[in-house]
A = this chain, B = another copy of it.
């Protein structure tokens, strides 16, 4: 997960704090800033469903079972955390997660072509299908020491909170639903997915949505404080751009050859003038540059990395189009300057995350808000780049919630989770999920069944 930033000016200080926390892996717990106001008035159906659930002995028993299962989830957490899962190397952890899923009753669970662990817990028939997911991968390379260290209720290890805790919550839900024979109305698609982090570019969850055209919503679990609901998924496209020319002596070859650096400079100058909307917030930057051989050589090569982000897909693609056009125009101009055709450019997409947002008036957001209220928590609607970006970009209702515990130090070797009352987050997110798919004999599904997408 990477944290998105509030668009509200008032939140600027908090934003900086978030980035700092995120970047340096401090011992302070992570927090999120609001990116949208929390809905105050909920739809009657939402209130009704949650009133019914919270009054139901079946649901109460189930939530008690989540708490009772808490200590056992910590054993799963140690087991899974200590199986390293670097980007593109999630297989071993996937196999362990699959084995646990099968043991807990999803006998037809399997690993798909992108390495995702996928198991369907069927509803009673005509309900919606909700994807519930956590990601298998961590940002840490192979060989990182992933041994879990414990100090009281605080557990430390790379990847332990982002996102291994969430994997164990999925397993716990599966166990308590089965132990308590809870029959949901809608289907629950349990997924431990690959490729959420960095260059994984959400490949796992993209595969899920490509293979399962009938998903009606998604609740993903990530390290987020109780009460936090992520509704904004900032999309990003990133490019590595390489300019290549013949190069030559700065004096001897002058006038005869183009400069890769001059070509790149022309491109950057054009990019720096691109206009983007502030809502949906859309941004761009040339983040890094390098190139050239020596001060007195007309540069034969230059390269830059470009980052384009947006809260919506249309302006992301529009801005990307402008960036790519600027690069092409720059090369034409630099060649024209010297009457040659020897400067070339290649662009490589190195980051590809779609973006979007789930409107606060969507049932899925109201359900999470109502679940928080039921547990005495205020809801903060926040943003980040997560697996939920994919359904958001497709217009499918999606949110990310926490799985319990206080967390910090993501993407740092000092990553930790404090599991004091950690069962609470697992209860809140579970009751949100149950509200969305409905519990047979207790409540109707809140999630709207959609017409299946077509390929």
Q: Which residues of B contact A290 (CB under 8 A)?
A: 289-291
Residue A259 lies at the interface, judged by CB distance under 8 Å to chain B: yes
Distance from A276 Cβ to chain B, minimum over Cβ atoms (Å):
8
Counting every copy of the chain, the complex holds: 2
Known contacts A252-B5, A259-B272; A289/B291 CB under 8 A: yes
Closest B residue, CB atoms, query A291? B289
Interface centre among A4, A234, A296, A307 (most CB of B within 10 A): A296
The answer to whether B289 touches A19 (Cβ under 8 A) is no
Q: Verify if A267 is at the interface (C-beta below 8 Å from B).
A: yes
A284 to B251, CA, bound (A): 8
Q: Is there contact, CB below 8 Å, between A272 and B278?
A: no
Q: Does A273 contact B (CB under 8 A)?
A: yes
Asked if residues B278 and A287 are in contact (CB atoms below 8 Å), the reply is no
Contact between B250 and A283, CB atoms less than 8 A apart: yes
Number of interface residues of A (CB under 8 A): 57
Chain B's nearest CB lies how many Å from the CB of A200? 15
What is the bound-complex CA distance between A307 and B262, given in angstroms? 13
CB contacts (< 8 Å) of A10 on chain B: these are none
Q: A170 an interface residue at 8 Å Cβ cutoff?
A: no
Known: A264-B265, A299-B288. A5 touches B293 (CB 8 A): no
CB distance from A133 to the nearest CB of B (A): 24
**Closest Cβ neighbor of A334 among chain B residues:** B272
Q: A302 an interface residue at 8 Å Cβ cutoff?
A: yes
The reply to whether A298 and B291 form a contact with Cβ atoms under 8 Å apart is no
B296 touches A307 (CB 8 A): yes
How long is the Cα–Cα vector from A351 to B296 in the complex, in angstroms? 11
Say whether, besides A234-B251, A251-B4, A298 and B272 are in contact (CB < 8 Å).
no
Q: How far is B296's CA from A251's CA once the two chains are assembled, in angstroms?
A: 36
The residue that A299 contacts in the complex, of B284, B287, B292, B351, with Cβ under 8 A, is B287
Q: Contacts A289-B289, A290-B289 known; A261 to B251 CB distance under 8 Å?
A: no
**Could you tell me the distance between the alpha carbons of A5 and B250 in the complex, rounded to whole angstroms?**
10
Across-interface contacts of A255 in B (CB, < 8 A): 278, 283
CB pair B287 A337 closer than 8 Å? no
Q: Specify which of B259, B264, B330, B351 is in contact with A285 (CB 8 Å cutoff).
A: B259
Q: Does A451 contact B (CB under 8 A)?
A: no
Whether A262 contacts B288 by the Cβ 8 Å rule is no
A7–chain B nearest beta-carbon distance, Å: 10
- Closest chain B CB from A232 CB (angstroms): 11
A236 to B287, CA, bound (A): 32
Quick check: is A268 within 8 A (CB to CB) of the other chain?
Answer: yes
What CA separation (Å) do A54 and B410 show in the bound complex? Answer: 86
With A265-B269, A271-B262: A250-B296 Cβ-Cβ less than 8 Å: no
Contact of A265 among B5, B267, B293, B337 (CB under 8 A): B267
Tell yes or no: A238 within 8 A of B by CB.
yes
Contact present for B271 and A268 (CB under 8 Å): no
Q: Which residues of A pack against B, CB within 8 Å?
A: 4-5, 15-16, 19, 234, 236, 238, 249-252, 254-255, 259, 261-262, 264-273, 278, 281, 283-299, 302, 304-307, 309, 330, 334, 337, 350-351
Q: A272-B334, A289-B290, A290-B291 are in contact. List 10 more A-B contacts (CB 8 A).
A: A15-B252, A19-B252, A251-B281, A254-B285, A265-B268, A265-B269, A266-B268, A268-B268, A295-B351, A296-B309
23 contacts between A and B (CB under 8 A): A5-B251, A5-B252, A238-B295, A251-B309, A259-B286, A261-B304, A262-B286, A265-B265, A265-B272, A265-B289, A272-B334, A285-B299, A286-B299, A287-B293, A287-B296, A288-B293, A288-B295, A289-B291, A289-B292, A289-B299, A289-B302, A295-B305, A295-B306
